[in-house]
């Protein structure tokens, strides 16, 4: 079941990498980076999954279950959800940095083609 | 039948087939990465594996030690609070770089020589732009410069506050109802006349084609015939009444939801998603009502100090933990009973400062990118095509202040 999520995350990551490597339009390259980033969100949330588990919210443990038993398995992994939460915000900020650089580059060079920006070569 | 014509239309639509950059090598790298990832994923714990130790630890201490029923928040702001502390400043570093890159030219106190260097570089890399009988700039470029200057002037006029915003909105109504003759002029006071001059020919062309079915607003503001770099249609606020009313209603609900997400930190939520939702309020209002509606709050001079104060509070919370309890991010605040707004002590305070950090940070970043205007190199003094413009520009530079920027 959850294997599909892993495969999807891997595929998205590779699609993102292919976009970054093969595209010449800078906006598309930024989109590829964002795609790679979102594939990690999917991976993190999928990693947190446990079979038959509930969300990690402690109200009262179901009858006859102690807190330790609850913690030992029947919930999704809260640590990975935490990673995902912070990664999303950082991802947005990183995308803003990329886009700001792209806009400045486009204003300066009057083109979005990365193949023509060769001044940093060598 | 209709389908077919649509498809045929799509086929005849002009589009560019973009050449790829070394697609085979890219494909090879992507395939190799896929292989590595699959091999790596085989070693991941399965769906039946027990939770890792840190997760179990967090689940066990959340209620007894922190009096909080939401382990994710406990981890974000408690167990892994130092990690979040670092992330806050990573976010801030990104925001500062966006603001720095996006900031327009500022008054200088000394000679830096970047203008001359820039001109030389431009001459080397784009020799064609510097040919053409005496004029350093093409017609399109001077038109774009003119449009940006007009917008800057209008912004200076639009800063007057509520009144300006009100008339601007009324003008928007007029535009929507199809009255293309009297629109927009109520918005500006002194610059309305300039505006007429700038867009006069466009409006004239709209009237001269009575057979065309294009909506006048679209004809005027979204037509392909308008040259790139001409003034932005944003000042007209040409959203319909439906969109504007709905956005106002939704903005209130979204703002309340954001505060609620953060305030009830003992249920799923917390400062990060709440901050993202709050910056969504600013974006929603901007998209629906135009920049004037949000310009009182969404300006660097307001948001940047708030962001910095939030960062200082984060540092203070962490350091006070070190001073009072012996470790960074240790809880030094009194714990309220579980499932109340104040439960969680330091967690809740940290969460609220994260709300401020994320909301202001994302808003600054988005609006900084939106407000990036061309940082024009002034025309070469010996090749100025329009001396009157040059004079305006010199004056504009003297009074150029960072808060004059506008999306």
Q: Is residue A89 part of a domain?
A: yes
A37-61 residues labelled b (16+ CB within 10 A) or e (exposed): bbbbbbbbbbbbebeeeeebbbeee
pLDDT band at B157 (very low <50, low <70, confident <90, very high): low
Q: In terms of Cα–Cα distance, which of A34, A45, A33, A40 is closest to A10?
A: A40
A1 touching B, CB under 8 A?
Answer: yes
**Mean pLDDT of the B280-292 span:** 89
Whether residue A62 is contained in a domain is answered as no
Residue written as tokens 């037509």? B223
What is the tens place of the pLDDT at every residue in B309-349? 999 999 999 999 999 998 888 888 888 888 888 888 899 99
Q: What is the ipTM of this complex?
A: 0.88
User: Whose CA is closest to B45, among A112, A106, A48, A104?
Assistant: A48
For residue B291, CA distances in Å to B6, B16, B60, B246, B248 come to 37, 34, 48, 17, 14
Percentage of chain A lying above the pLDDT 70 cut: 87
Place of tokens 């084609």: B209
Give B344's DSSP letter. T
Q: Averaged over A60-68, what is the pLDDT?
A: 65
Alpha carbon B269 to its chain centroid, in Å, reads: 24
Of all residues in chain B, the one with the smallest CA distance to A100 is B369
CA angle, A95 as apex, A31 and A42 as ends, to 5°?
70
CB-CB under 8 Å, B34 with A10: yes
- The answer to whether residue A61 is domain-embedded is no
The per-residue pLDDT for range B95-121, each reduced to its tens digit, is 999 999 998 777 777 887 877 887 787
**Residue A9 is part of a domain; what is its CATH number?**
1.10.287.3510
CA distance B155 to B301: 15
Contact B172, B237 (CB under 8 A): yes
Chain B positions touching A101 (Cβ under 8 A) are 101
Q: What are phi and psi of B116, to 5 degrees?
A: -65, -40
Q: What is the mean pLDDT of chain B?
A: 74
Return the HEC string of A14-49. HHHHHHHHHCCEHHHHHHHHHHHHHHHHHHHHHHCC
Judge whether A88 and B91 are in contact, CB under 8 Å.
Answer: no
A78 and chain B: CB distance < 8 Å anywhere? yes
Residues with Cβ within 8 Å of B292's Cβ and at least 6 positions away in sequence, in order, are B158, B164, B165, B168, B237
Determine which helix (DSSP H) or strand (DSSP E) holds B395, and give its type and residue range.
helix B387-398
CB-based contact A86:B84 (threshold 8 Å): yes
What pLDDT, in 10s, does the model give residues B373-400?
Answer: 877 766 555 444 444 444 444 444 444 4
Number of domains in chain A: 1
Does residue A80 sit within a domain?
A: yes
Residues of chain A contacting residue B74, judged by C-beta atoms under 8 Å apart? 78
The reply to whether A13 touches chain B by the CB within 8 Å rule is: yes
Residue A45 falls inside a structural domain: yes
Answer for the pair B286, B407: CB distance below 8 angstroms, yes or no: yes
> For residues B341 and B337, what is the distance between their CA atoms, to the nearest angstrom?
9
pLDDT single digits (tens) B17-69: 778 889 999 999 999 999 999 999 998 887 888 888 888 888 888 888 888 88
Give domain status of residue A70, yes or no: no
CA–CA distance, B313 with B307 (Å, rounded to integer)? 10
Q: What pLDDT is attached to residue B155?
A: 66
Give the three-state DSSP class for B376.
coil
Q: What separation, in Å, do the N-terminal and C-terminal C-alpha atoms of chain B show?
A: 44
Please answer yes or no on whether B21 and A1 come within 8 Å at the CB atom: no
Size of interface A-B (CB pairs under 8 A): 184
- CA distance linking residue B241 with residue B247, whole number of Å: 10
Say which residues have a Cβ less than 8 Å from residue B164's Cβ, sequence separation at least 6: B157, B158, B187, B292
d(CA B217, CA B223): 9
Distance from C-alpha of B216 to C-alpha of A121, rounded to nearest angstrom: 49
Least confident of B2-11, B160-169, B327-336, B337-346: B160-169
The confidence band for A65, taking pLDDT boundaries of 50, 70 and 90, is low
Q: What secondary structure, in 3-state letters, does B240-281 show? A: CHHHHHHHHHHHHHHHHHHHHHHHCCCCCCCHHHHHHHHHHH
Chain B contact present for A92, CB below 8 A: yes
What are A20-42's pLDDT values in tens digits? 999 999 999 999 999 999 999 99
pLDDT reported for residue B159: 47
**Is residue A55 in some structural domain?**
no
Instruction: Report if residue A59 sits inside a domain.
Output: no
Per-residue pLDDT tens over the stretch B229-260: 666 655 445 688 899 899 999 999 999 999 99
* Number of neighbouring beta carbons within 10 Å of residue B276: 19
| Structural domain boundaries, residue A110 | 1-50+75-122
Q: Which of A6, A79, A81 sits opposite B41 (nearest CB)?
A: A6
The residue behind tokens 């009502």 is B289
């Amino acid at each position: 079941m959850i294997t599909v999520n892993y495969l999807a995350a891997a595929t998205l990551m590779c699609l993102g990498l292919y976009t970054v490597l093969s595209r010449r339009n800078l906006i598309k390259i930024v989109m590829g980076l964002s795609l790679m980033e979102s594939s990690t969100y999917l991976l993190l949330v999928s990693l947190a999954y446990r079979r038959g588990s509930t969300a990690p919210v402690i109200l009262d443990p179901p009858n006859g279950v102690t807190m330790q038993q609850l913690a030992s398995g029947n919930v999704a992994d809260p640590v990975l959800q935490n990673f995902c939460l912070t990664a999303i915000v950082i991802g947005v900020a990183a995308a803003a940095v990329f886009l700001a650089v792209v806009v400045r580059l486009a204003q300066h060079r009057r083109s979005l083609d990365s193949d023509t920006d060769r001044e940093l070569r060598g | 039948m209709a389908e077919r014509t649509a498809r045929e239309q799509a086929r005849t639509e002009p589009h560019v087939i973009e050449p790829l950059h070394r697609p085979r090598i890219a494909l090879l790298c992507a395939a190799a990465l896929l292989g590595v990832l699959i091999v790596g994923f085989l070693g991941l714990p399965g769906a039946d594996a027990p939770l890792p130790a840190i997760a179990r630890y967090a689940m066990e201490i959340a209620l007894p030690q922190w009096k909080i029923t939401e382990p994710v928040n406990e981890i974000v702001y408690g167990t892994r609070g130092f990690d979040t502390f670092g992330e806050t400043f990573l976010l801030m570093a990104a925001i500062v770089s966006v603001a720095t890159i996006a900031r327009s030219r500022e008054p200088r106190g000394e000679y830096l020589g970047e203008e001359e260097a820039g001109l030389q570089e431009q001459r080397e890399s784009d020799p064609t732009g510097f040919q053409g009988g005496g004029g350093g700039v093409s017609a399109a470029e001077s038109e774009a410069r003119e449009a940006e200057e007009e917008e800057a002037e209008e912004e200076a006029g639009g800063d007057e506050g509520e009144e300006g915003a009100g008339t601007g909105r009324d003008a928007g109504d007029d535009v929507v109802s199809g009255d293309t003759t009297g629109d927009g002029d109520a918005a500006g006071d002194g610059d309305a006349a300039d505006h007429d001059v700038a867009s006069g020919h466009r409006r004239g062309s709209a009237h001269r084609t009575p057979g065309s079915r294009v909506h006048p607003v679209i004809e005027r503001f979204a037509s392909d015939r308008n040259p790139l770099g001409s003034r932005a249609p944003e000042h007209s606020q040409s959203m319909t009444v439906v969109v504007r009313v709905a956005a106002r209603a939704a903005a209130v609900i979204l703002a309340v939801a954001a505060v609620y997400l953060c305030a009830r930190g003992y249920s799923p939520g917390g400062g990060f998603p709440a901050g993202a939702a709050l910056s969504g309020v600013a974006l929603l209002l901007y998209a629906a009502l135009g920049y004037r509606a949000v310009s009182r709050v969404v300006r660097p001079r307001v948001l940047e100090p708030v962001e910095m104060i939030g960062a200082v509070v984060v540092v203070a919370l962490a350091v006070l933990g070190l001073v009072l309890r012996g470790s960074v991010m240790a809880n030094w605040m009194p714990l309220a009973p579980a499932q109340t707004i104040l439960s969680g002590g330091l967690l809740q305070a940290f969460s609220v400062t994260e709300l401020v950090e994320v909301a202001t940070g994302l808003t600054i970043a988005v609006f900084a990118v939106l407000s990036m205007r061309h940082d024009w190199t002034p025309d070469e003094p010996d090749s100025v095509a329009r001396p009157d413009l040059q004079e305006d520009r010199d004056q504009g530079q003297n009074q150029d202040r960072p808060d004059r920027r506008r999306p």
